[in-house]
Structures are given as C-alpha cells and as structure tokens.
Structure 1
Amino acid sequence: MKNTKLILILVVTALIALFFALDLQQYLSLTELKARQNDFNLYYQENPLQTLGLFFVLYVLVTALSLPGAAIMTLAAGALFGLVSGLILVSFASSIGATLAFLVSRYLFRDAVQNRFGNQLGAFNRGVERDGAFYLFTLRLVPLFPFFMINLLMGLTPIKARTFYWISQVGMLAGTLVFVNAGTQLGQLESLSGILSPGIVLSFVLLGIFPLLARKGLDIVKQRRALSHFPKPAHYDYNLVAIGAGAGGLVSTYIGAAVKARVALIEKHRMGGDCLNTGCVPSKALIRSAQRVQDMKDADAVGIAGTAPKVDFKRVMESVQDIIRKVEPHDSVERYTGLGVECISGAARVISPYEVEVNGERLTTRNIVIATGARPLVPNVEGLDQVPYYTSDTIWELRTHPGRLLVLGGGPIGCELSQAFARLGAEVTQVLRGERLMPREDADAVAIIAQHFAKDGIQVLTRHDMRRFETVNGQHRLICEHQGEDVTIEFDTLLLALGRTPNASGLGLEEIGVQLDKRGALQVDEYLRSNIPNIYGVGDVTGGYQFTHTAAHQAWYAAVNALFGRFRNFRVDNRVIPWCTFTAPEVARVGLNEQEARDQQVPFEVTRFHMKELDRAITEREEAGFVKVLTVPGKDRILGVTIVGAHAGELIAEYVQAMKQGLGLNKILGTIHVYPTLSEANKYAAGEWKRAHTPHRLLQWVWRYHRWMRGGRAPASPKSAPSEKQASR
C-alpha cells in the first residue's frame, strides 16, 4: 500500500516537473493560441479524429495534474472545434480530469489530512454531510475557489466518486458553455480592431456576469426547494411579522413600517424585552445607585466629612422599577402603533413559513423575523431545585436585603451585579469554574477589576466546581470541589449568572424544518436567513453576540433583506461590534484583544496609555485603567482596542467609528479633543503609537538643518522631542 502510494506520488511529481522543465506552459497561452491557430486548423482538417483525441487526452492530463492552462484550452476548444464540438469535448474531458484529480487526492491524502486537519476542513465536511450534491453543485456553478482546488479538497471529504463526477459534469456545463463560446469569437478575430466586435464583447460580458447570474439562479432554486413543501397563500395579511418585542423585533418592525410595509409585532410578555425589563436598564439603574453609595463612602478623601450612607434596600430596588417605568414609553405599544406597527399580545407559533398563529388566529405573512432573545441558563446541579434562587431575570423582584449573596458565574452579568450588591452592603461571594473573572477579556484588564472587587469586599473563588446544594437546619449551602477537596459555602441569597440560552424552542420552528444548532440557537446565514429563506433571526436567539445594540444592528439587515431581497441582499456587517462590562472601572472592547490575536495567530503591536497620566482622570480620582490599542505591525491600522476606566463604554465609540470607517491612529491623533476630558486618553494613546514609530533618521537630518540655520555649532546629538502630552500644554 505504502509502495503504491509512493510510486503514484513520484509519477505525478515527475509529470508536473516535466511540464515546467520543458516550459510547456508557454503553449497554453492566448498569444500562442492565436499564433498557431492556422496551423491547428489545417492539422485538424487533415486529421480530425487524431486531433480530437490528442486534445481530449491533453485536457484530461492538464486537469488531472492541476496544471495551469485549462481555461486557455477551453477557449482553444471553441476556436478550433466550434461551439458544439468544443462544448462536448471539454465537458467530458474536464469532468474526467477533475475526477482523476479527486481520486488521486483521496487515495494519497484523505486519511492523513482528515486525521491531522479535521478542524480546518470542518466546513467542507459539514457541507458534504448536510447536502453534499447541492453543495458541490454550488461550488461548480459559482466557484468560490479555483476548480483545481475544489477537485483536490473534495477528494478529502466523504462524497462518493460517482456523485462527484456527475455533479461536476452538470455543474460545470454552463460555465464551460460561456468559455467555449468566447473561444469561438476569438477564433474569428483577425486583427486588433476586431477585439471590439459585438460577438467578442458579448462573450466577455457573459464571462463577467455569469457568476452573478448563476448565484442569483441558485438562490432562487434554493428558496423554491426549501419552500416547496408548504402551500402558498393566495394573499398575505402582512409583509413582515416579528416575534419578540425586544430590540430586534422593535427595530425590524419600525423599519418595515417606515418603508410603508404592513408589519405586525407579537410579544407574549412585555414590550421592550429583556433589555428594558430585566437587563440593561434595571442593571444600570442599580449600578448607578451603588455608585452613589460608593461616592459617599469616598467623600472623606476630598475633604467632605459625613456619616456612612444608610441603604434602604427596598427603596433602592423600587427606584430601579421607577427608571424602567420612565423608559417604558420609548418601547410602548402606543408608540409603535403610532409608527404604523400592529402590536399583538400573545404567544406566537410558526405554523408554516407563511403562517403565524397567535391567540387562536392565523396570520399570513411573506416574511417572519424571529427575535425571541434568550433566557438565563439554569444548571443541572443536585439539590438546586430545593434551594430558592434568582437569575438576572428575577433578581429585580428582590425587596429584602440579600445578606450573604452567592453569585455563580464570572461573566459580565455576574460581575456587574456582584459589585453593585456588594456596594449596597451585601456580603458577596462569587464562585467561578474558570481561572479568572471575565474570561473573554485580557488578563491585565481583569487584574484591575479583581483589585477593585477585593477593595469592595467581594470574595472571588476561582476553579471551584459545583457539586451539590443542600439545606441544613434552614441554612443553605453550596458544596464545591477545589483542588481535589470539598469546600462548603454558606449563603442567604443565590444568584445564577452562568450565561444565557437562546429562546428558539417552543415556537414551532423545528416542526417545519428550521435548523437549530446544538445549543438550540437559530442558525442563520450572512443575510440572517435561516435554512427556510423567508424566516430570519436576529439578536440573542441566533446565539452570537448577546447585546442589545447587536440585535438592533442586525434588525436593519433582516428587515431590508426580507422586504427587498428580491432586488438586493445585504450581508450583515459584524466586523466592528463593541461591548462594555459596566463594572467600576468599566471594561470596553472592540475588535481583537491580545489573547484573541495570539489564539488566531494574528501579528500585532500593542500601544498603551495609562489613565493615571490623564489630567481629567486625576481630577476625577479615576486613575485606574488604560487604553490599549492593537495595530498591524508598522502601520496605524487598528485591529482592536480595550479600554479599562471610568466611562470606558463612552470612550470606545471613537475607536468603533475609526475601525468602521478605516481610519488609523494618525487620524485620531490629528483630531482636536477638548481639554480636560477623558476622551483625550484616545488621542494620547495615538500619540504613544506615533512616538514608537518616530522616523529617527529623518529627524537627524532635520536637526542638522536647524543647526545649519542657526549658523553655529550644537551638541553632538539632538535632544529628545517632547511628549505628545507635554506638547499639548
């Protein structure tokens, strides 16, 4: 077996080496084709069968060995043999050669490559397993990669050889026809002026627009295929129905109503979704109350004497509800009805891609947007069902002081609420399974947060695995394992902050064939379409970035694609998604951080500016933190930014815009920032990058010029230039 493979490798290598050693590629060029066209035609007339046979064998060899020149040979077939004969010849030769390359790749490399690079080939393998024939047909009709790469890579997948052959035969036919037709026009070219003849121009126009037409045709076929099992209504009640009145549903229906479509918004609970009622709004209101308490505790440091703050916990939690009621009108039924959205209260169920049932009534619609968000994850831990607990959805019902508060989870929700409740007087213990808080953030950012948590009296227990809950004599306990030993943690109040699970089940989606991933999230493509093309998904239900601003961002794409997709579809732009954890200090992010860049093996440079050097941060006594910018080595193009500090969520916006618009650090450095403000930190970070890339050789010549202009002698070397901060003063 090994000897056979070795021999085959040697033969293939020898043939490829011989091809280049003899410079045979010179004969596979457009110039050579035109120069020898008359000789080829004469030989073909005298030896038609021999010419056809030799051309066929040569084409098979070129394709099988993945040599350059197949495209030129396809043009040559049209020029030498005409449209019909050239098409038949190339169609079979290309398919046979492609299959030979496929078989060689499979025989020599599939087992070894799959064993070693299975993760990298995951997309191909999944595509073949899910819909192998159509997947290959798409690649053949609209090649995302050169055909020779498709031949070799498909040989590494489980697809059957006979399936590969006939799909290649059919899938390449349309493209072959366009190329051969172009070749027939080249065959008629007698002079350079003939290059502008209508036939040749049309042929090359077809070459340019064929991939676009093929992709559009494939989209139509795919859509009809996905919807073929469902009867189409004679008419529709709505152009778009959104399920879920969080940010995704609100924005998608708002856009639909703005462009005069008839839209409906269905919500079974409260308008505004998680963000208004249990997420962003109440948590930030609570954090603000906690910050006021902390400001009072720190007042003595600025010479303001007073008593320690007395926290009325019930009033604090009721004030949070007051804030929710003030924001409610922004997301209310009245407002959205006034905007032209029909708001329906009830639990929705998708009956078909065209029908949604709510309150016993069936609504017909051309498009459906699923924006049902996510719910807190509740772990399957022994004894948890015997212990009262809160989640980020239910903690706002709490009116009595939490006492000893146990928080499970070290992500953004767990960290924000841990610190807020600690500042309001709770005795907080935060238990993590991992090695540190906020695992998605860089270690240097987390270190600052950990210091502040310790200052606020929060006990953070890392690498503690939950084992069971128990209640003994009315005392609640969590038993954890830490370094092989059991650890008992007593608590009065339990808060679960272990992440969120998409709300995609129970809507009837699985029953009509909508695909969910293993986490239960709705699977969508780059246009936010599910596998049923008129059902879209936005926000947390898709399992991606679980942020309100991301759901709103995606909702625009979903609404526009749903309502106007027959004319043009827009790929959702997730390149520049910022987020912020609202601890004190805040941690804001956009793009890559250091640990992600290393994991992805992306080359980068790091530039830092520390908040303790910023005048406004000093006056505010908010000196903890930094601005850290990752850039392309030697360039000012921004790869990502992490900001730790007061109001980091506001400061990150400048970098979000810069990355979105392709602006580098030089542009930020050249922008006037008000003094003294926290936003100057962004400018100073850009200044740090500029100093690190100072053109020292040029400055030596500039120094010599200034010495010459003074007409006298100067020290042997120039003094160092002032810093950006010093210069600004």
Structure 2
Amino acid sequence: MAGRIKTDICMIGAGSGGLSVAAGAIQMGAKVVIIEGHLMGGDCLNYGCVPSKALLAAGKHAHALREGPPFGVAEATPQVDYLAAMAHVRASIEAIAPVDSQERFEKLGCTVLRDWASFISNREVQAGDTVVEARRFVIATGSSPLIPPIPGLDDLPYLTNETLWDLQEKPDQLLIVGGGPIGIEMAQAHVRLGCKVTVIEGAKALGKDDPEASALVLKRLRAEGVEIVEGAQVEQVSGKPGAVAVETGAGRYEGTHLLLAVGRKVNLERLDLRRAGVKYGKVVEVDARLRTSNKRVYAIGDAAGGPQFTHVAGYHGGVVVRALCFGLPAKAGTAHIPWATYTDPELAQVGLTEAQARHEYGGRLEVARFDYAGNDRAVAERQTEGFIKVMVAGGRPVGATIVGAQAGDLVSLWSLAIANRLKMSAIAAMVAPYPTLGELNKRAAGAYFSPRLFENPAVKRVVGFVQRWLP
C-alpha cells in the first residue's frame, strides 16, 4: 500500500498492548491503523511468554517421570527428544497466532501496514511508502534482549530469547548469563530436559523478589542439578561454536552453548521521536495518563517504562482506550500489578514485598502468613514446599508474596483486593472449594484475624458472658 492515510488512531507496534488498543478501539467505532515492522503478536507470542512456558511444560513432563516413587509409580529415565520439544513450542505459537494475526485485525476493520514506522512530524508517521496522519498515536514497540558489551562477545555465537527457539539440537552444557526470571526459567526447563546448566549472575539470582521466597526456588533448582553462581561479573567470553567459555572474577565456566538473559532494552531507535516532539531517554517519558510530551502521542507497555510484562501492556492498553475513545482521564497505577516466575515452585508477587512494606509502613505493618504444608490439597499432591505471606496495613493488603505450586494463579486474588481497596475481612469471607490450593488465600486472611479472635482477652470475656447468660 502506498500513499496517504488519515485515521483516528495509529498503533505503532502489534504486540499484546498494541493489539489490545486496536481491537477495543475499532470495535467501538474508531478508525485504526496498525503498523508493525516485524511479527504480529510481538515478543510475547513469538519469543517470550508463550514459547518459554511451552518449553517449561515439556520439562515438567520429563521431570514427572523421575518423581513417581512417592506416588507408587516406578521411577523412569525420560527419553527426551529435544527437537520434538521445540516442535511443541512452535505448535503452541501457531495455535495462538491466529488471534494476533493480520488477517483477524483486517477482518475487524483495521488497516495493517507491515513496515517500520518513523515520525515525520508531530502528527504523521511514515511506514514504507505510506504516510499515516492520525488524531492520536500509541507507541507500543516493546523491547528486545539487551546485549551487554562483554569483551569477546562479537566473535562468539550466542543465544537470546529470540534465537533460542531455533536450536536444532539439545545443548549438552548450557551457560546462562543472567539470573533473572528468564534465565532461571530456562535453566530449569533445560536441566529437566537433560542438559547440564550453569547460571552466572553478577549480583543475586532473582534479586528483585522476596529473598525468602526466591531462596526456595533457587534451592529447588540446585537440587535438580543447576549450578547457580552469584556475585560473578562476566569479564570476557571466548571460544567457538560448540565450545564456549565465560571468564568471571569467581572463575571460568565452560559449556557448549551460551544464552544471554541480562535484561531488555526498549525498541525506540527507528521512531525518530524528536520529529514528533516526544521526550524520551531509555524509555518514552509519559505522565500518569500515559501521554507523552506531545499530547497526541501515548506510549504503553515496555515503551512507557515500568514493569516489563505482557499483562502490563494489556492493562495500559485498557487505560489508553478509555482516553482515546471516550475522552476519560484514566490513569495507570502500579500497586496492583502482579508478576510471576513460572519455575517449579512458582514465585509470584503483587504490591509491596515485605522489605518494601516495612520501609513504608514501619510498625503499622502486619504480615499474615500461611504455609503450603497446612493445605490438604498440597499434602495430597506432595506440593507442600512454599508459603503465602500478605503485607497488611490498616486492615488492607498492600502486598502479597506467594511461592509454591500455582502461585501465579493464586496471586490474582490479591491483585483484585489491592486494586479495589478490599479489606482482609473480604478475603476471610470468601469460600473456596475443598480441597484446593485456593484455600491458601483464605487461610492467610484467617491468619491475620486469628490473634484478634483467639488471643484477645476481651473476646474471651464476651464469649464467656454469652455462654453463661444466653438462653
């Protein structure tokens, strides 16, 4: 397509956030143009959430064969076909791809341009031979793997989350530089699929999470055979295909493959934001309404800074749709944004960690806790390792940390509570089916009220009075 298009909304980027805005706006009557220079569905579908969880699922099935004896099932050594596992990854992507496809959005009524966008004025962008003039623009360009300036890296083949899925053979010994969620998830997936894995982290593995919770995850990975080296800054790398070495202050580590998982950088370099009058640094500068210095331009997801999660981009998309379609002054918050690391056990967080909450609330903070070992479903399935702790101030939860089976699912309730300023009494009033892990949330709320009920002399006096005088 060549020429000039006038539209109401121009989406730059067709990842989860951009597509959320486009789908909502077009169905409510706005004219929408989507510009995408790479793959529809963005990083999450093609390189991130979907393929990583698919590979974790393959590893989980392999691991289950080793874990049978406590259930009366003979232990077996899994015969792993790494290519078949990668075929499962591709099949998962292909099954979801139609939802994010160009064809689907064109059927909805969007105009989709498959090229890179760059601003040519404060209300125009160019994509290939086409100029798009829009009343509003939304930058949703996402992020890409950060490649650190490590000496020797330019001369050595390495993997990122974008190229890992192209492997045609199982890595015999995988070196992972970076002990954040991506590195740790891929470490467990690969060790369960029969690889030797070493994680090299310059600071503390899972360092952004609650240390008590992350310690449980790291303990499990080490028990499964992952070598985790912390406080080891990479000084240089060397080698050739099939034989790589990483030099750190803590020692030298050798392997067959190198995976870099040290962070991400926002994709802004092609946009020529200065021509649009948009202020930016490593991310686009936005206000609470996600507007940039050019009030016609918004930014969402990774491009807007903050937590780099797919669900954040989707949430931002909802905020922006209200502003674009209805003119409502909707604002984005962060207090209720959850995140999860999908290892076994899972680790999930929403709101403040215990350390953050103690710093903010001091002596007003109460921490309610309940262990998985006290949950009957966890006992029946031998998933008793883990806990939930809820940070409470003024009777309301301000944060929740969960480590254990299905933590990523369980944390959603606490996001709901924080988003709607619910009191702990609302959680305590909930009824969860028995036996489910969902009871953990109710029991944590119960742990908050137990001292008030069972250790309060006034309560005992009232109960005693009722028992003596009630007919």
Same-fold call, TM cutoff 0.5: yes
**Map 1:601-620 → 2, pairs under 5 A:** 602=362, 603-620=364-381
User: What's 1:510 paired with?
Assistant: 274
Task: Name the TM-score, length of structure 1 as normaliser.
Answer: 0.62
Give the Cα separation in 1 of the matches to 2:102 and 2:22.
12
Shift of 1:564: 4.0
One-letter amino acid matched to 2:295: P
Structure showing greater radius of gyration is 1
- The reply to whether residue 444 of structure 1 matches residue 212 of structure 2 is yes
Structure 2 unaligned segments of length 5 or more: list them. none
User: What's 1:406 paired with?
Assistant: 175
Aligned residues: 466
* Residues 650, 371 of structure 1: alpha-carbon distance in 2 compared, 3 angstrom cutoff: same
Determine which of 549, 566, 569 is the counterpart of 2:311.
549
One-letter amino acid matched to 1:493: H
Shift of 1:362: 0.9
Q: Deviations over 1:1-42 (max 9, x none)?
A: xxxxxxxxxxxxxxxxxxxxxxxxxxxxxxxxxxxxxxxxxx
Determine which of 228, 233, 242 is the counterpart of 1:460.
228
Shift of 1:629: 0.4
Q: Which moved more, 1:255-264 or 1:699-708?
A: 699-708
Q: Contact conserved, 1:353 with 1:368, CA < 8 A, in 2?
A: no
User: What's 2:246 paired with?
Assistant: 478
Shift of 1:236: 6.8
* Residues 299, 524 of structure 1: alpha-carbon distance in 2 compared, 3 angstrom cutoff: same
**Map 1:574-589 → 2, pairs under 5 A:** 574-589=334-349
Q: Deviations over 1:447-483 (max 9, x none)?
A: 101110111100010110111112289732111013x
Shift of 1:664: 1.6
User: What's 1:533 paired with?
Assistant: 295
Determine which of 473, 497, 501 is the counterpart of 2:261.
497
User: What's 1:469 paired with?
Assistant: 237
- The reply to whether residue 674 of structure 1 matches residue 443 of structure 2 is no
Give the Cα separation in 2 of the matches to 1:514 and 1:658.
36
Q: Deviations over 1:53-94 (max 9, x none)?
A: xxxxxxxxxxxxxxxxxxxxxxxxxxxxxxxxxxxxxxxxxx
User: What's 1:522 paired with?
Assistant: 284
One-letter amino acid matched to 2:309: F
Give the Cα separation in 2 of the matches to 1:561 and 1:420.
41
The structure with the greater share of residues assigned to helix is: 1
Structure 1 unaligned segments of length 5 or more: list them. 1-234, 712-729
Shift of 1:703: 4.2
Shift of 1:411: 1.0
Shift of 1:604: 1.4
Shift of 1:669: 1.1
Q: Contact conserved, 1:547 with 1:579, CA < 8 A, in 2?
A: yes
* Residues 299, 529 of structure 1: alpha-carbon distance in 2 compared, 3 angstrom cutoff: same
User: What's 1:651 paired with?
Assistant: 410
One-letter amino acid matched to 1:459: E
Shift of 1:545: 1.2
SS at match of 2:246: strand
Q: Contact conserved, 1:374 with 1:503, CA < 8 A, in 2?
A: yes
Determine which of 298, 304, 325 is the counterpart of 2:73.
304
Q: Contact conserved, 1:291 with 1:423, CA < 8 A, in 2?
A: yes
Give the Cα separation in 1 of the matches to 2:289 and 2:94.
35
Q: CA RMSD in A?
A: 1.8
Q: Deviations over 1:538-559 (max 9, x none)?
A: 0011221111111011112223
**Map 1:32-431 → 2, pairs under 5 A:** 237-305=6-74, 307-431=76-200
User: What's 1:169 paired with?
Assistant: none
Give the Cα separation in 2 of the matches to 1:653 and 1:362.
42
Give the Cα separation in 1 of the matches to 2:240 and 2:408.
44
Shift of 1:353: 2.1
Determine which of 443, 455, 461 is the counterpart of 1:701.
461
Task: Name the TM-score, length of structure 2 as normaliser.
Answer: 0.95
| % identical aligned pairs | 36
The structure with the greater share of residues assigned to strand is: 2
SS at match of 2:400: strand
Indicate the structure whose relative CO is greater, using CA pairs within 8 Å and at least 6 residues apart. 2
One-letter amino acid matched to 2:429: G
Give the Cα separation in 2 of the matches to 1:265 and 1:449.
40
- The reply to whether residue 630 of structure 1 matches residue 391 of structure 2 is yes
Shift of 1:431: 0.6
SS at match of 1:617: helix
Q: Deviations over 1:557-599 (max 9, x none)?
A: 223323443xx42222333111111011111111101122244
